[in-house]
Chains A and B, each alone.
Chain A
Amino acid sequence: MQIKMREVAATATSPSMGEYMKSIGIIANPASGKDIRRLVAHATIIDNNEKVNIVKRIILSAQELGVKEIYIMPDTFNIGFKARDDLASARQLAVKVYILDMQITASLKDTIRATEILQQLDVGCIISLGGDGTNRAIAKALQQTPLLPISTGTNNVYPDVIEGTVAGIAAAVAASEIFDLKDICIKNKRIEILNEGGLLDIALVDAVICNETFVGARAVWSCETISDIIVTKSRPNAIGFSSVPGYIDVIEESDDFGGWVKLGHPGETVVAPIAPGVVRPVPVKSMFRLELDRPYRHCAKQNSMIALDGEREIPLKKSCTVDFVVTRNGPYQLNVEKTLRAALKTKFFRKVCI
C-alpha cells in the first residue's frame, strides 16, 4: 500500500456532497466485548460478525455521500476483508476499500499503529468500533483527525451507540472538510498519568486506583478494592466508575476541570452503576475538582494498580508516586448530531435533479 498525501482542494462557497472529499479510516477492534464482564456483569455481546455488518453499513453510506477511498485496519477476524468481499459479491461496492498493510500483533499495538498510518494517509475522519479501551489506544496516537467512536464494547462511557449508516454519513461530512473542527467536534479532555515528569499512560474518562496487584482479566467490577476515582467527566447516566462522581457533581466534557473522588469511611454512600448490571452502594469520603493542566500527586500506600477506562493497566509499587493531570489533549470527537445539522444548513445533502 502506498501512503498518499492529498492536497486540500479549495472548498466551494456553496458546498455540496461529492465535491472534494478526503478518505476515511476505520479501526474495528475484534477483541472488544469478550472479557470477563460477560460473566460477572451480564454485559453486552456484540460478536465480530456484527462488527462486519456495521462496517458494511458505514461503507455503503459513506460511498453514497461521495467518499472515494476507505482505509481499514487489518485484524485477526478480517473484519475489513469480510466487509469488502461481502459488498463486492453483492455488487454494492462503489468505493475503493484498502486494508492497511501492517503486521497484526493481536494487541492494542495494532490500534495505535493503524491510527498512525491513517493520519499519514491524511484521512478526514477515523471511525472506531470498540469500547473505552480501543479509543484510549487511538487517543494515544491521535492528533488532529476527528474521531467518531461507535460503541461495540462493554462498559462504555466514551463511545456512543450510533448506527453505522449514520456514522458513515457523518464521517463523510467531516471528510469533506467544509466545516471547522470546532463546530462539529468536541475537543476531549484526558487524564495523563505522569511518573517523574514522563508520560506513563492516559485515560479518556476515568482512572481508578485499586488495591489489586495483578492485571489478570483486566476489568474491574467490584468497588471493595477501590480507593480513588479520577475522572475527566462524570454524569449520572454513565456506566462504570465515572458514574460515582456523576451522582454527586456533574462534570461535562466542556467543563474546564476534572474530578477526584476518595472512597471509604466516614462519609456518604452513593448508589451507582459501576458496571453493566452492577448497581452498588459506594462509600464516598470526599470529592474535589481538578484544575486543568495541574498535576495532583498520589503516593501508593501499598502495592496497587491503576485501571484506565475500566481496565487494570499500571502496577504501582508501595511508596511510588505518580501525578494525575487532566488536560484538554484528548481527541477531536465528532459530534454526529451537530455535524449532520451543520451539513443540513449548507444544503450538503441536496442533489440537483434535471
Chain B
Amino acid sequence: MNLSQELLASMYRKMMKIRKFEQRVSELFAQGMVPGFVHLYIGEEATAVGVCENLKDTDYITSTHRGHGHLIAKGGELKYMMAELFGRKTGYCKGKGGSMHIADAKIGILGANGIVGAGLPISVGSGLSARMRGTDQVTVCFFGDGASNQGTFHEAMNMASIWRLPVIFVCENNLYGISMRQDRHQAIADISDRAQAYGFPGITVDGNDVLAVYEVAHEAVKRAREGAGPTLIECKTYRWRGHFEGDPTTYRAKEELEEWMAKDPIPRFARYLEENGYASRKELEEIERSVESEVQQAIDFAEKSDLPDEADAVTDVYSDLVEEGRAR
C-alpha cells in the first residue's frame, strides 16, 4: 500500500495536534483551569489517527472517557473542545458536559462517554441505522481493554455479527483498566481472540505504529462498506499519564512506563517520513509550531469565552419532550 504525501502529512499533524492538546490540558488542569475529570490520551495517538484517517465526515465514531484523541482525529474543533473543558458557553455542550460528553453530530462524532462500555451499543444502533437507510456509512467504536469485560461488549459484538453491521470495533488495549493490569482482569492476552466467538475477524496490531493501524483499519472499513460485516481490531498501546490527571500511578513500575515511552509513536513516524523523503526535519518542526499555535488559539478562545448564565442551568439538560411530560 502506498500512501500519498498529503495523507502522511495529515496523519502527522493530527497526531501532533492530539499530543500538544493533551499536554496543555495536563498543565491547565494542574493550574485549576479545567473543572471535573480529564483522562488523557498521550501515547495512544497512532491508534485514533490510524483508524480515523480512513473515515469520511459522514462516517460515525463512538468514543470513551478518554476521548480527546478520537475527537481530534475525527475532525473535532480544538477551540470548541477547549471551551467545553473550561466549562464555557462556547463549548461543544455549552459548557455543561465537560471532557466526557463532547459530541459533534455534524461530523459523525456520536459522543465521548463516561460510562465504560456504553459506546458499544450506540455503535450497533448507528450501524443498524446506516443499514436501514441504505447508506455506505461505517461506524467505528473505540473502547478499552477494561470495557471488553462489560456485558455491553459481548451484546454489541453479537448483534453486529448476526446483522452483519458496518461497525469496526477498535479496542485500545493500553494494558490497564484504571489500576487493574490486563493479566489480572482477563485470562486472555489478545482481546482480538474474542471475535472468533462471534464469527468475525479479530486482528491484533501494534497500536503505536500509525501505518500498521492505518492498513488494518483500511481493510476493515472496506469490508464494512462492502457489507461484509464487523471487524474487531485490537491495538496494543499504552497511556503515559495516570488513569486521570492526578492519579499517582502507584500500581505500575517506572520501568514499564519508560519502556513504552521509548516506543513513542510520534518520533517513530517522523523518522519514517524523513528517511523516505516525505518531509524534512524543518517541515516537521513547522507542523509542530503551527499546531502549538492552534492549541494556544483554542486556549485563548476558551479563556475569553463566558461562563454559562445561571438562568441556563436547566436548559438543554432534558429534552423538551421530557419537560413537556413533566408539565402535564
Spell out A's residues near B (CB within 8 Å).
30-31, 34-36, 38-40, 45, 47-49, 76-78, 211-218, 225, 303, 315, 317
Contact = CB atoms under 8 A, between A and B. Distances in A.
B201 A38 contact: yes
A36 B219 contact: yes
A39 to B, nearest CB: 5
Interface in B189-237: 189-190, 192-193, 196, 201-205, 209, 211-212, 214-216, 219-220, 223, 231
A48 B193 contact: yes
B223 A39 contact: yes
B115 to A, nearest CB: 29
A215 B212 contact: yes
B212 A303 contact: no
Given A45-B196, A47-B196, A214 B216 contact: no
A216 B1 contact: yes
Contacts of B1: 212, 216
B204 A34 contact: yes
A78 B212 CA distance: 26
Contacts of B30: none
B205 A36 contact: yes
A76 B276 contact: no
Given A35-B204, A36-B205, 15 more contacts: A31-B204, A34-B193, A34-B204, A35-B203, A36-B203, A39-B201, A39-B223, A45-B202, A49-B193, A214-B272, A217-B212, A217-B216, A303-B276, A303-B277, A317-B275
B31 interface: no
Contact of B2 (A31, A39, A45, A211): A211
Contact of A38 (B2, B203, B276): B203
Contacts of B193: 34, 47-49
A110 B231 CA distance: 29
A89 to B, nearest CB: 15
A38 B189 contact: no
B190 A36 contact: no
B276 A48 contact: no
A224 B275 CA distance: 24
Nearest to B214: A216
Contact of B203 (A39, A211, A214): A39
Contacts of A49: 188, 193
A211 B214 CA distance: 18
Nearest to B259: A105
B202 A38 contact: yes
Given A213-B2, A303-B276, A34 B190 contact: yes
B202 A36 contact: no
A38 B231 CA distance: 10
A38 B196 CA distance: 11
A218 to B, nearest CB: 7
Contacts of A39: 201, 203, 216, 219-220, 223, 231
Given A76-B189, A214-B272, A217-B215, A34 B2 contact: no
A240 B91 CA distance: 53
Name, among A39, A77, A211, A218, the residue most crowded by chain B CB atoms within 10 Å (CB to CB).
A39
A31 B188 CA distance: 12
Contacts of B272: 213-214
Contact of A48 (B189, B202, B216): B189
Nearest to A36: B216
A77 B188 contact: yes
B202 A217 contact: no
Contacts of B203: 34-36, 38-39
B188 A216 contact: no
A263 B97 CA distance: 58
A215 B215 CA distance: 10
A303 B277 CA distance: 10
A322 B223 CA distance: 38
A108 B272 CA distance: 22
A30 B192 CA distance: 12
B162 to A, nearest CB: 19
Contacts of A47: 193, 196
B189 A30 contact: yes
Closest 7 CB pairs of A and B: A217-B215, A34-B204, A77-B189, A216-B211, A38-B201, A76-B189, A216-B215
Interface string B1-28: 1100000000000000000000000000
Contact of A212 (B2, B189, B204, B219): B2
A77 B187 CA distance: 8
A10 to B, nearest CB: 45
Contacts of A315: 275
Contacts of B277: 303
B81 to A, nearest CB: 30
A76 B215 CA distance: 25
B202 to A, nearest CB: 7
A212 B214 CA distance: 14
Contact of A216 (B189, B190, B201, B212): B212
Contacts of A213: 2, 272, 276
A34 B2 CA distance: 23
A310 B93 CA distance: 49
Given A31-B204, A48-B193, A303-B276, A36 B2 contact: no
12 contacts: A30-B189, A34-B190, A34-B203, A34-B204, A36-B215, A48-B190, A48-B193, A214-B211, A216-B212, A217-B216, A218-B212, A225-B2
Interface string B265-289: 0000000100111000000000000
A225 B215 CA distance: 15
